[in-house]
Amino acid sequence: MKEIRYIWAINEAIKEEMERDDKVVLIGEDVGTPGGSFGASRGLYDLFGPERIFDTPISEAAITGLAAGAAACGLRPIVEIMFMDFMTICMDGIVNQIAKMRYMFGSQFKVPVVIRTPSGGGLNAGPQHSQSLEAWFAHVPGLKVVMPATPYDVKGLLKSAIRDDNPIVFIEHKALHALKGSIPEKEYRVPIGKADIKKEGTDVTVVAVSKMVHESLKASEILAQDGINIEVIDLLTISPWDRETIFGSVAKTHRLVIAHEAVKNFGVGAEISAAVSEEILDELDAPIMRVGAPFVPIPFSLEKAYLPNADQIVAAVKKTMERTF
């Protein structure tokens, strides 16, 4: 095992996959000699040159559409969109084109595009540089949406994403870029579509997305002092999400909290909550609680008050412990 930062784990995954398969290309703004705005492609230009490390103008709409065309014609593009907020400019390419090309054209095409983008708050970057928009993409049939929270998972999942023949929206968390963690020296992959139990527990299932995994682990320590033992599940893949693991855990704990940084309204938590209610309502001993951001844009200076945190998870867990049907 070795220690590595989240951002370097991304870099390693791209490098290894580019070495393995010469169809893999990286496309994005400042990804060339500057090595990416957050450093994810540092050193790659020197290794792979300008043909494979395609440093583009500031033209998000065009590069997304271009990736669709290139993928349909045999390449395996990784597109870097510098901030998730700028994904809004790529929406036609992603939603109307990439997501639909296979199905709409009678399953004749494969569109193996990975769109990597950092989401999330924590840097006081304000309303247009801090959003978590995963639910938008999870709402679109044809896309897979992945959201890893540790160096181990980000590397393993990115490698799986690059090898997957389907289009994948790969959402990093920019406040986790500097996070250190251990990963194997040897090649490994983490499967798409599988959640990971980060901490086993018996009292309440907490399904967490991205950075909320770390907040949930913090919450778990706080709750342990009160004798409450939560199970923390890292969802990892938002779509298609791992029903089996989550239903299994709920069947064990009979209580469920879902935590994500995105606004609570119409979020991933709503989908999971609805599915649990539809499928295994009789397993629940208490109403499901959701932790998410309030329904306003992310303010510049009140960011801390805005972002969901461990305390809110603790409160939600306690509430499910108090409330019963």
Partner 1 sequence: MRKPGKKKLIQIYKKMVTIRKVEEKLMEVFSTGEIPGFIHVCIGQEATPVAVCSWLKDSDYMSTTHRGHGHALAKGIDLNLFMAELFGKSAGYCRGRSGSMHIADPKTGILGANGIVGGGIPIATGAAFASQYKKSGQVTVCFFGEGATNEGTFHESLNIASIRKLPIVYVCENNGWAEFTPQKTHMPIKKVADRARAYDMPGAVVPNDILKIYEKAGEAVERARKGQGPTLLEIKSTRWHGHFVGDAQKYRLEKEVAAAKKKDCIADFEKKLLKDKTLRKAEIKKIADMVNQRIEGAVDFARKSPLPDQSELMDDLYV
Q: Is the separation of the CB atoms in 250 and 288 below 8 Å?
A: no
Query: How near is the Cβ of 18 to partner 1 at its closest, in Å?
Result: 21
37 binds partner 1 (CB under 8 A): yes
315 binds partner 1 (CB under 8 A): no
Residue 68 neighbours by CB distance under 10 Å: 25
- In 3D space, the residue among 112, 168, 111, 120 whose CA is nearest the CA of residue 140 turns out to be 168
With tokens 């208490």, the residue in question is: 286
Residue 126 touches which of partner 1, ligand TPP, none (Cβ within 5-8 Å per kind): partner 1
DSSP state of 94: I
42 binds partner 1 (CB under 8 A): no
Strand 230-234, strand 204-208: pairing: parallel
Number of residues engaging partner 1 in binding (CB under 8 A): 35
SS3 263: strand
Name 278's Cβ contacts closer than 8 Å, sequence gap at least 6: none
Question: Residue 106 has which token pair?
Answer: 């009678």
Query: How near is the Cβ of 60 to ligand TPP at its closest, in Å?
Result: 6
29 binds ligand TPP (CB under 6 A): yes
Contact segment (CB under 6 A) with ligand TPP among 81-89, 212-220, 286-294, 303-311 equals: 81-89
Among 129, 173, 177, 260, which one carries the catalytic annotation?
Answer: 129
Query: How near is the Cβ of 281 to ligand TPP at its closest, in Å?
Result: 44
Name 271's Cβ contacts closer than 8 Å, sequence gap at least 6: 135, 138, 241
Please say whether the dihedral angle defined by the alpha carbons of residues 276, 280, 281 and 287, taken in this order, is positive or negative: negative
Angle among Cα 144, 146, 149 to the nearest 5 degrees reads 175
39 binds partner 1 (CB under 8 A): no
Nearer to ligand TPP, 129 or 255 (CB): 129
82 binds ligand TPP (CB under 6 A): yes
Strand partners for 276? none
Contact segment (CB under 6 A) with ligand TPP among 4-12, 82-90, 153-161, 228-236 equals: 82-90
Q: Is the separation of the CB atoms in 80 and 29 below 8 Å?
A: yes
Residue 305 touches which of partner 1, ligand TPP, none (Cβ within 5-8 Å per kind): partner 1
Strand partners for 233? 197, 207
Strand partners for 231? 205
Nearer to ligand TPP, 58 or 123 (CB): 58
SS3 324: coil
58 binds ligand TPP (CB under 6 A): yes
Q: Is 129 a catalytic residue?
A: yes
Nearer to ligand TPP, 38 or 241 (CB): 38
261 binds partner 1 (CB under 8 A): no
128 binds partner 1 (CB under 8 A): yes
Query: How near is the Cβ of 216 to ligand TPP at its closest, in Å?
Result: 31
Contact segment (CB under 8 A) with partner 1 among 8-16, 255-263, 291-299, 316-324 equals: 291-299
Name 212's Cβ contacts closer than 8 Å, sequence gap at least 6: 149, 259, 260, 261, 291, 308, 313
Contact segment (CB under 8 A) with partner 1 among 13-21, 24-32, 151-159, 272-280 equals: 24-32
Q: Could you list the residues that contact partner 1 (CB under 8 A)?
A: 29-30, 32-34, 37, 55-62, 85-86, 89, 123-129, 294-297, 299-303, 305-306
The contact set with ligand TPP (CB under 6 A) reads 29, 58, 60, 82, 86, 89
Which of the residues are catalytic? 129
